Structure 1
């Protein structure tokens, strides 16, 4: 392409969430170069910000007149994406589904919107339309030291909370066995997972998808059922309390050192957990997160990212961005992305392709647990994690409350009643700032891991 034509190219400014994985964006950059070869008219400018900084950086750039064409946001930052404004006070992003407008292909690339797995489609369906195109997805799993579990006389992997308690009791009776049965980090994502499994609406307006969330409840029967079960596991000596919040490293070490038989953690941890077993000489099973025996199972928390589309673009730029989203979402490209970093496939076509290749057999069989678990959703609003402002701070209110319960002997119901009042104040504060005109203050753009 000549120099003059190079200058005439349409630039798609594509910002992606950055994570602390080596060469994380290399596959995206490869897809961008391939897309440019297919469409020489376009230049895909791939950029990145760390996931906790991306929302603030985009807000700042947008108010300075430098908005991205498209940007991926961590699931926990979804409300921040919804509330990011342009200098004229209008929302930066529009609905991807509305922009597609019922088309079946864009610039020759088939639209894959209808092929998105239900869990992702439900999560990103906001105000009745798919707001963002999912790029990555994860959820929570149970990791089991099968070798120790069998030594304790338990032959089946627990599926429910009661079965976990029974298995932990058997482990406790094992001579020279581990100090505890199970561990997981005191992290907000586990509260989200529990609420989604129980189908609980953490906030009003259909869990924040049919209007802005204005009320939050940390004292629902579902929340208190989870908190009291966790508390009982700790009191009975089954749950290993590491003494600090967000201690993912501590719970991983406990599992790797065989101090516990079970660990709850992200599906992204699958390769590391399996390797820990290989290094330690024990068998590791990866299965869905145990659920309550007393509530019907509804859905799952999902992590990962969704790609948002800027509003008000000219048609050529908008079509280029939408076409690039569809290209990233072809079965082959979704499968490549999954194989690179372990994100679960976000389309049924990619799952079928991986199945046909035998990917979920043999050494990669543990990935099947994520695919199967994400299928378990009843489509109700509570089955997807809530969307709300100040979610990072509200999650910390839950975590700090649980810390007081385990570390300081606080009564679970009383402490979570206090946390619920704190969460209400936080949500009110966010609403006051985000319903006002002008730039969002930095504390409204905080994103938690």
Structure 2
């Protein structure tokens, strides 16, 4: 009897309820469908995952496939094996003109352009997007109606007006709006204004060497956010990032609006149900004083290790295509509110009546990662080529702590972000020096980014019901 061919898949444990259970179920199901293969998925620490893969690769230990969080994409590109060669091969190169693997159809042609483009560099799709998110605005319909706010605000000026109306309520919430102090919203604000974090077109035209956290786009965002806070409209819990506290405030109707990730849709719907009000969902507001470019995307992607023997490579690619088939991609959306990563999975959900029964789930695909025609006057998808640079996580850590000093301690926004730029530049310089070293040691500054992720784990429905309100 022929031995099974092992396919090792390493993934960061995102710690969503049942996250690793689903991975193990998928591995078992694929192995059942293709009994000549045995897929084993190993969940590793989210914070240290890139560091671990880099260290193991230098020792000659490597999986067939590894999943990276989007801001670690540059680390994946720069990781080398024990011979000093790039650890990963691009998905587009590995697939070539093939249309199926072990009978599993290729999905490359079916990927939503916003996610395909994010992981494409110099015309090469380096990795296969697996989880997709963006940012949304969630409203309390009853509170907004009482305040006389029609619809949901879509611009910063409309948010200002909505906040003033909510504040005028005699028995209204303590604040009008909140969101977590997290780097994803900084990214969205920059992207919507067409701003870049780093030089060389956000690291897309060449390796980034300088970072700027006092650009006009960043300054506009920081000043607007700080003004909302100083005017008493923005609820800052004082914690970084505090996904929990801002969700509690929405649930307990201490705010009328919360901005959060699109993968929060299920949790937010449950929060509204507990709070006894109607949830509205819309786009993340943009700066109406400059042209609106469109939202950025985030998520994870799957990277294929180079140099696999042909049988292992065939099985690994078949597994990647299978896990992205319409049924599996649609189920991933249902479980965790992630954006349907392919057009076929979206069509399946639509044909099943999923969006008719859950209309707030369609907003991301229809009106965010697609251009909102009512806003831009054009159709298509936004340029979602996010920033690529070393120690992105560490830079985000620096940004959010700088904003925390502005909001909680009254630091001067410009001076504080000048200091943040200097600190982030040091991280970037250290990273680029690491890349230029022939005999690379551990990825530098690997501990950065951990502190502000400390409550990344989301709620289960039961957890959400048992959360103690902040004001108790």
Superposition TM-score tier, normalisation by shorter sequence: over 0.9
Give the one of 70, 93, 104 matched to 1:75.
Answer: 70
Give the one of 87, 90, 94 matched to 1:92.
Answer: 87
Secondary structure of 2:355's aligned partner: coil
Q: Distance in 2 between the 1:319 and 1:211 partners?
A: 32
| 1:224 lines up with 2:219 in the alignment | yes
Secondary structure of 1:375's aligned partner: coil
* Contact 1:106 1:322 (8 Å CA) reproduced: yes
* Contact 1:138 1:304 (8 Å CA) reproduced: yes
* Contact 2:9 2:42 (8 Å CA) reproduced: yes
Secondary structure of 2:288's aligned partner: coil
Q: Distance in 2 between the 1:209 and 1:14 partners?
A: 28
Q: Normalization by structure 1: what TM-score?
A: 0.94
* Contact 1:128 1:210 (8 Å CA) reproduced: no
* Contact 2:10 2:41 (8 Å CA) reproduced: yes
Can you list the C-alpha shifts for 1:56-91, whole angstroms capped at 9, x where unaligned? 222222222210110111112212211222111111
- Partner residue, 1:272: 267
* Contact 1:104 1:110 (8 Å CA) reproduced: yes
* Contact 2:333 2:340 (8 Å CA) reproduced: yes
Q: Distance in 1 between the 2:371 and 2:385 partners?
A: 11
* Contact 2:10 2:63 (8 Å CA) reproduced: yes
1:444 is displaced (CA, Å) by 4.0
Q: Distance in 1 between the 2:352 and 2:203 partners?
A: 39
Q: Distance in 2 between the 1:128 and 1:444 partners?
A: 30
- Partner residue, 2:459: none
TM alignment of 1:192-271, pairs within 5 A? 192-271=187-266
Range with bigger deviation, 22-31 or 105-114? 22-31
Secondary structure of 1:183's aligned partner: strand
| 1:418 lines up with 2:412 in the alignment | no
- Partner residue, 1:50: 45
Q: Distance in 1 between the 2:402 and 2:19 partners?
A: 35
Secondary structure of 1:48's aligned partner: strand
Secondary structure of 1:12's aligned partner: strand
- Partner residue, 1:365: 359
Q: Distance in 1 between the 2:299 and 2:100 partners?
A: 25
Where does the alignment leave 5 or more consecutive residues of structure 1 unmatched?
none
1:233 is displaced (CA, Å) by 0.8
Q: Judging changes above 3 Å, is the alpha-carbon distance between structure 1 residues 216 and 277 closer, same or farther for their aligned structure 2 residues?
A: same
1:92 is displaced (CA, Å) by 0.7
Where does the alignment leave 5 or more consecutive residues of structure 2 unmatched?
373-379, 454-472
Q: Distance in 1 between the 2:24 and 2:240 partners?
A: 35
Can you list the C-alpha shifts for 1:347-369, whole angstroms capped at 9, x where unaligned? 0110011000010122x221112
1:379 is displaced (CA, Å) by 6.5
Can you list the C-alpha shifts for 1:401-425, whole angstroms capped at 9, x where unaligned? 2122222222222222222222212
1:442 is displaced (CA, Å) by 5.0
Q: Distance in 2 between the 1:66 and 1:393 partners?
A: 26
1:430 is displaced (CA, Å) by 1.0
- Partner residue, 1:316: 311
1:114 is displaced (CA, Å) by 1.4
Query: What value does the CA root-mean-square deviation take over the aligned residues?
Result: 1.8
- Partner residue, 1:191: 186
Q: Judging changes above 3 Å, is the alpha-carbon distance between structure 1 residues 319 and 206 closer, same or farther for their aligned structure 2 residues?
A: farther
TM alignment of 1:40-439, pairs within 5 A? 40-362=35-357, 364-372=358-366, 373-376=368-371, 383-439=384-440
Secondary structure of 1:244's aligned partner: coil
Q: Distance in 2 between the 1:440 and 1:267 partners?
A: 37
Q: Distance in 1 between the 2:108 and 2:274 partners?
A: 41
Q: Judging changes above 3 Å, is the alpha-carbon distance between structure 1 residues 338 and 32 closer, same or farther for their aligned structure 2 residues?
A: same
1:296 is displaced (CA, Å) by 2.2
Q: Distance in 1 between the 2:22 and 2:407 partners?
A: 43
Secondary structure of 2:97's aligned partner: coil
* Contact 1:125 1:209 (8 Å CA) reproduced: no
Q: Distance in 1 between the 2:116 and 2:313 partners?
A: 21
* Contact 2:370 2:382 (8 Å CA) reproduced: no
1:331 is displaced (CA, Å) by 0.9
1:193 is displaced (CA, Å) by 1.2
